[in-house]
Structure 1
Amino acid sequence: MKLKNSLALVAGLALSLSCVISQAAEVLKVSAIPDEAPTELLRKFEPLGAYLEQQLGMPVEFVPVTDYAAVVEALAAERVDLAWLGGFTFVQAHLKNAEVLPLVQRAEDEQFTSKIISADPTVQSLQDLKGKTFAFGSVSSTSGSLMPRYFMLQDGIEPEAFFSRIAYSGAHDATAAWVQAGKADGGVLNASVWDKLVAAGKIDSDKVRVIATTPPYFDYNWTVRGGLDPALRDKLKAAFLALDPADPAHKAILDLQGASRFIETKADNYQGIEEAARAAGLLK
């Protein structure tokens, strides 16, 4: 009897130890739409990842992907826990898995805009780009394709008929580089990346100019997978909301994220994005 009890105790301890090891090895897997160069995405994420590790008390791993669709699939299939999405990629993920939820967004994402740019000195407005070449970002980009296209259609401009040729650069910084190098007469990218490229001197603003700005719309957010533990989800939200621009260490993280601060968001905020995508024939 004593032996049986001892074996049961050993088995129980082994099971407990197994659970502890399992919990210690748990990793929060984070990904992001590849709207900028991979090295830039990682540079922006590393301080945030370290902060989340400290706040959550668990390892955080960044999972890079090759295209927008891969993030949507990974989140909907619950292969990643948290992802940085644009408004359209959130809508796509939410339609695939209704339990996918937007957690927080930057304050700037309540009134986000896209910038239409050109380096052609004869181009002063969008109408001046008629019959010329034009670059969007990724087909799945909210600010680099969907919303600019939607607003063009509202103004009676059918891009495929209006421009002589359309190309997709795949990322906002690539679009700006194409326009500066003359590979496209005009292009569109999100306002945040445009401001960052100009501030960093990567774009010559004397040569490349903003010729139009879209109306505002909701855009980027941090989204969690449906099956994520609610307690962990709440800790994640609290960690983002606790980032304080008055704290120098926090401000460094916020600056890299292009955020003045983070605020709560909800799925209903992106209903307009879904309507725009359906109007553009990107959702069935």
Structure 2
Amino acid sequence: MKKLLKLAAVAGLLFSAAGALADTFVFTAIPDEDETRLQQRFDKVAAYLQGELGVDVKFIPVKSYAAAITAFRNDQVQLAWFGGLSGVQARRLVPDSQAIAQGYEDQFFKSYIIANTSAGLTAGKELSDALKGKTFTFGAKGSTSGRLMPEFYLRERFNAAPEAVFERVGFSDDHSRTIAQVQSGAYQVGAVNYTVWENELAAGNIDPAKIHVIWETPTYPDYQWTIRGDADKRFGAGFTDKVRNALLNMKDKDLLASFPRESFVPATNADYLPVEKTAQSIGLLD
């Protein structure tokens, strides 16, 4: 009898823990910058959302873009701050999932091609033939601004895959690391998210004597908040709208500066069709 009571108590604790977890709204973000910074900025967002939504909210970090997509697919997270490509990939895996908000700036995002000054490359309106034979690093393999769009324009300019243009091609895994690798000379050239570049420049982490921007892409849609299609079923009717409204009504300058974004504006899946078509054209999507 004592054993049965103990088992019942343990089962009750497990049930309570599971219930508590089930009632927690969990979100993540692609790891496009230093992990410590991400934790600091999204813990603040979790506190804000918890106050707005009236449910427990938790941020969990992930180690890679692929891990963010997997967590979303497996319902380990119900909301994610994705890049353009990772958002498209995630929504393909979870029926009825929606892009619900994007940064004001994400309507016209862009990437920079950056170079170590020792490479002897100068800034211009076109990608120069002088890029051929240099060493080049992208960001993460699943990054819209650090891989997808820069690769698209490189292929368009040189009519060849990056591996055929450059002496060596690498993937740094995040934008801050791309900048560090090009600045150190580990790679001569790289592709980077323009907002991370501007942040690092403002923070004094970029030495203009060692590294500079040589080209920028045309604009394209990028980062967005995507929510699972079953969020209303799990958290109650109208929950998706509550989350959308909470994001659109985020006015605290400190919270917005941590992204950094001027504000959040409505987004839909259709906004990211250009990203999806580009990914398909270079073989990153079926």
Q: TM-score, normalised by structure 2?
A: 0.87
Residue 239 (structure 1) aligns with: 246
Q: What is the identity, as a one-letter code, of the residue corresponding to 2:178?
A: T
What are structure 2's unaligned runs of at least 5 residues?
1-14
Q: Distance in 1 between matches of 2:20 and 2:37?
A: 31
Instruction: Sort the Cα spacing of 1:23 and 1:73 in 2 relative to 1 into closer, same or farther, 3 A.
Output: closer
Pick closer, same or farther for the CA change 1:23–1:46 going to 2, 3 Å. Answer: closer
CA–CA distance in structure 1, aligned partners of residues 60 and 133 of structure 2: 41
Which of these residues, 93, 99, 102, is aligned with residue 99 of structure 2? 102
User: Which position in structure 2 is the counterpart of 1:6?
Assistant: none
User: How big is the shift at 1:77?
Assistant: 2.7
Q: Deviations over 1:236-274 (max 9, x none)?
A: 111111122xxxxx0110011111000000001111111
Kindly indicate whether residue 72 of structure 2 is the aligned counterpart of residue 70 of structure 1.
no
Q: Please list, as runs of the form range in 1=range in 2, the aligned pairs for 1:225-236 lying within 5 A after superposition.
A: 225-229=228-232, 230-236=237-243
* Alpha-carbon spacing, 1:157–1:163, altered in 2? closer, same or farther (3 Å): farther
Q: Does 1:48 align with 2:55?
A: no
Task: Write the distance in 1 (CA, Å) between the matches of 2:21 and 2:163.
Answer: 53
| Identity among equivalent pairs (%) | 39
The aligned residue for residue 137 of structure 2 is: 135
Is the contact made by 1:24 and 1:58 (CA closer than 8 Å) also made in structure 2?
A: no
1:118 corresponding residue in structure 2: 115
Among 197, 202, 205, the residue aligned to 1:199: 202
3-state SS of paired residue (1:155): helix
For the 8 Å contact 1:88–1:141, the answer to whether it is kept is: yes
Q: Kindly tell me: are residues 147 and 24 of structure 1, through their superposed partners in 2, closer, same or farther at Cα, counting changes over 3 Å?
A: closer
Runs of 4+ in 1 over 6 A off after TM superposition: none
The equivalences for 1:109-188 within 5 A come to 109-121=106-118, 122-125=120-123, 126-127=127-128, 128-158=130-160, 159-188=162-191
Structure 1 position 102, deviation (Å): 0.6
* 1: CA distance, partners of 2:147 / 2:58: 29
Distance 1:253 1:30 in 2: 16
Instruction: Give the superposition deviation at 1:78.
Output: 2.1
Amino acid at match of 1:106: G
Contiguous gaps of at least 5 residues in structure 1: 1-17, 245-249
> Is the contact made by 2:117 and 2:209 (CA closer than 8 Å) also made in structure 1?
no
Question: Amino acid of the residue matched to residue 249 of structure 2?
Answer: A
Letter in 2 for 1:205: P
Structure 1 residue 205: deviation in Å? 2.5
What residue identity is the alignment partner of 2:222? D
Deviation by residue 1:171-219 (Cα, 9 ceiling, x = unmatched): 0000000001110000011011000000011111332100000010000
Instruction: Give secondary structure in 1 for the equivalent of 2:241.
Output: helix
**Deviation larger for 104-113 or 68-77:** 68-77
Partner amino acid, structure 1, of 2:66: A
Root-mean-square deviation (CA), in Å? 1.8
Q: Aligned equivalents of 1:86 and 1:256: distance in 2?
A: 16
Q: Output the CA distance in 2 between the equivalents of 1:157 and 1:188.
A: 18
Q: Report how many aligned residue pairs link the two structures.
A: 261
1:60 is matched with which residue?
57
SS of equivalent residue, structure 1 residue 254: helix
d(CA) in 2 for partners of 1:134, 1:25: 44
211 and 66 in structure 1: CA distance in 2 versus 1, 3 angstrom threshold: same
In the alignment, what sits opposite 1:279?
A: 281
- AA at the equivalent of 1:198: L
The separation in 2 between residues aligned to 1:206 and 1:261, in whole angstroms, is 33
Are the counterparts in 2 of residues 78 and 226 from structure 1 also a CA contact under 8 Å? no
- The amino acid of 1:166's aligned partner reads V
Residue 278 of structure 1 aligns to a residue whose secondary structure is helix
Letter in structure 1 aligned against 2:242: K
- TM-score normalised to structure 1 length: 0.87
